[in-house]
């Protein structure tokens, strides 16, 4: 590693650190001003709000804005170097433009790997803390501070040959009414269970059924069994029926992959958003490296307007990136657009932009 590499890397990391701290403070102040009334209604102490909410919110918002922080840092310190003619001096020594970008590439790879690791394993526990507080105290009414999420008329597959239908279910009490389980042998119905009520039995780890009727079919022959109470295990837990807008954010990547496979088997309606979340955990870190190269190529040229003009170009670039990303996400969730393509499309587009800017700057 040469002196110039250490010089650029030091500026990169120092600028990024101060950008991260400054933007975090700004975001927290804005968020606090918006939620002051909500926090007051909770009757929690300042310490509880900090530990239960902001210890989860800060990692969440920093991970979301991480590519932007890196991009602004690159634009800022590289533009300063260009205005002081430092880059001209570096290139005049015979160093190629490709070699000049090497420390940027190394730092970009480091930040990409760091964000990837955070997204897979560190961020989900933070989202658990943040999401629990938000769903309990902010998203819902304050009657007892209880999240009473319910759903009705839900149909899904239990396994390759079994299907379930639920008329009504309450995730808080873990109980519901009108449960029906049908099992098929190929296309022939062989078993049907109907329960007027059902509740999760925590002692036995299965479902306590009420007013149960079981029909077993053998050709044209039908066997009928009625029972006032019955316990059954359908390989279905209350967690599988939980209604939680933050569920996919709370899962580590191995948990998310397992949940996606289960939802595919059940024919879940929200499968695209789950796959999009999984792919975004890989695609967003890669955007850090792409935006690093774009920022370096934009800001390395000395122009009129200096850092201000470079930052303006940087902000516009980030807005376009976010716009492309949001359009892809909406199409994936609402128009059945392939979620894998939706997650990686912004990176593909901006990788092409980065290559064009690099070829132009290297001349």
DSSP string, 238-251: GGGG---TTHHHHS
Instruction: Name the pLDDT band for 198 (thresholds 50, 70, 90).
Output: very high
Q: What is the pLDDT of residue 113?
A: 95
Q: Identify the pLDDT of residue 1.
A: 61
pLDDT at 93 over 70: yes
Q: CA-CA distance, 179 to 194, in Å (whole number)?
A: 6
Q: Is the pLDDT of residue 10 over 70?
A: yes
More confident residue, 104 or 266: 104
φ, ψ of residue 155 to 5 degrees: the values are -130, 135
* CB 105, CB 297: distance < 8 Å: no
Q: What is the mean pLDDT of residues 84-98?
A: 86
Structure-derived torsion over alpha carbons of residues 321, 326, 332, 338, reported in degrees to the nearest 10? 0
**Final residue before a domain boundary, out of 199, 219, 238:** 238
Query: Residue 142 has what pLDDT?
Result: 42
Does residue 53 lie within any of the structural domains?
yes
Sort strands 150-157 and 188-201 into parallel, antiparallel or unpaired.
unpaired
Distances (CA, A) of 183 to 1, 155, 214: 66, 14, 11
Among 199, 222, 238, the domain boundary falls at 238
Identify the H or E element spanning 255: helix 253-266
pLDDT value at 62 more than 80: yes
- Assess if residue 73 is contained within a domain: yes
Lowest mean pLDDT among 66-80, 202-216, 231-245, 341-355: 231-245
pTM comes to: 0.76
Considering the domain boundaries, does residue 245 fall inside one?
A: no
Number of domains in the chain: 2
Shared-domain flag, residues 56 and 128: yes
Residue 277 lies in a domain: yes
The yes-or-no verdict on residue 146 having pLDDT over 60 is no
**13 & 125 share domain:** yes
Residues 216 and 336 in one domain: no
- Which residue among 196, 218, 238 closes a domain? 238
Domain containing residue 179: CATH number: 2.30.30
Same domain, 113 and 54: yes
Q: Are 107 and 19 part of one and the same domain? A: yes
How many Å separate Cα 46 from the centre of its chain?
28
Tell whether 161 and 130 lie within a shared domain: no
Give me the pLDDT at residue 304, please: 66
Is residue 299 assigned to a domain?
yes
Q: pLDDT confidence of 145, banded at 50, 70, 90?
A: very low
pLDDT tens per residue, range 21-59: 999 999 999 999 988 888 888 888 888 889 889 998 999
Q: Is residue 224 scored above 50 in pLDDT?
A: yes
More confident residue, 136 or 346: 346
Q: Do residues 157 and 284 touch, judged by C-beta distance below 8 A? A: no
Regarding whether 7 and 108 lie in a shared domain, the answer is yes
pLDDT, position 149: 64
Instruction: Examine residue 297 and state whether it is found in any structural domain, yes or no.
Output: yes
Asked if the structure places residue 244 within a domain, the reply is no
| Residue 253 within a domain | no
Round the average pLDDT of the chain to a whole number and report it. 84
The residue-averaged pLDDT of 332-344 equals 80
Domain range spanning residue 160?
A: 150-238
pLDDT in tens, 101-121: 999 999 999 999 999 999 988
- Tell me the CA distances in angstroms from 60 to 24, 46, 51, 101, 140, one per residue in order: 11, 20, 14, 30, 21
Reported as a single tens digit per residue, the pLDDT across 269-328 is 678 888 888 999 999 999 999 999 998 888 888 766 556 666 777 777 777 877 787 777
Same domain? 123 vs 155 = no
Indicate if 281 and 137 belong to the same structural domain.
yes
Question: Same domain for 277 and 220?
Answer: no
6-12 long-range contacts, CB within 8 A, separation 24+: 8/103, 8/104, 8/107, 9/103, 9/106, 9/107, 11/77, 11/81, 12/73, 12/74, 12/77, 12/103, 12/104, 12/107
pLDDT of amino acid 16: 93
Do 79 and 133 share a domain, yes or no?
A: yes
* pLDDT > 50? residue 147: no
Q: Are residues 134 and 169 in the same domain?
A: no
In the chain, the percentage of residues whose pLDDT exceeds 70 is 91
């Amino acid at each position: 590693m040469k002196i110039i590499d250490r010089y650029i890397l030091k500026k990169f990391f120092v600028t990024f650190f101060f950008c991260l701290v400054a933007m975090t403070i700004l975001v927290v102040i804005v968020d606090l001003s918006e939620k002051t009334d909500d926090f007051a209604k909770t009757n929690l102490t300042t310490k509880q709000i900090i530990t239960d909410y902001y210890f989860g919110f800060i990692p969440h918002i920093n991970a979301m804005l991480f590519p932007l922080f890196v991009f602004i840092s690159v634009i800022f310190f590289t533009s300063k170097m260009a205005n002081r003619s430092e880059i001209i001096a570096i290139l005049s020594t015979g160093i190629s433009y490709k070699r000049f970008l090497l420390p940027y590439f190394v730092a970009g790879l480091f930040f990409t790997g760091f964000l990837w690791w955070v997204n897979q394993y560190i961020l989900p526990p933070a989202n658990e803390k943040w999401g629990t507080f938000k769903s309990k105290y902010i998203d819902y009414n304050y009657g007892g501070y209880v999240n009473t999420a319910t759903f009705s008329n839900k149909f899904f597959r239990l396994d390759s040959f079994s299907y379930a239908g639920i008329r009504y279910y309450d995730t808080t009490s873990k109980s519901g009414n009108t449960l029906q389980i049908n099992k098929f042998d190929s296309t022939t119905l062989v078993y049907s269970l109907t329960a007027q009520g059902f509740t999760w039995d925590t002692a036995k780890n299965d479902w306590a059924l009420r007013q149960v009727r079981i029909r077993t079919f053998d050709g044209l022959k039908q066997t009928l069994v009625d029972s006032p109470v019955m316990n059954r295990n359908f390989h279905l837990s209350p967690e599988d029926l939980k209604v939680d807008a933050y569920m996919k954010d709370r899962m580590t990547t191995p948990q998310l992959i397992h949940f996606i496979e289960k939802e595919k088997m059940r024919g879940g309606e929200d499968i695209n958003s789950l796959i999009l979340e999984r792919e975004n955990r890989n695609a967003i870190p890669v955007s850090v490296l792409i935006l690093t190269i774009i920022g370096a190529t934009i800001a390395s040229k000395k122009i009129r307007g200096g850092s201000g003009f470079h930052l303006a170009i940087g902000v516009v670039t980030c807005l376009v990136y976010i716009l492309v990303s949001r359009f892809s996400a909406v199409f994936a969730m609402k128009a059945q657009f392939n979620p894998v393509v939706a997650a990686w499309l912004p990176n593909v587009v901006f990788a092409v932009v980065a290559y064009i800017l690099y070829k132009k700057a290297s001349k």
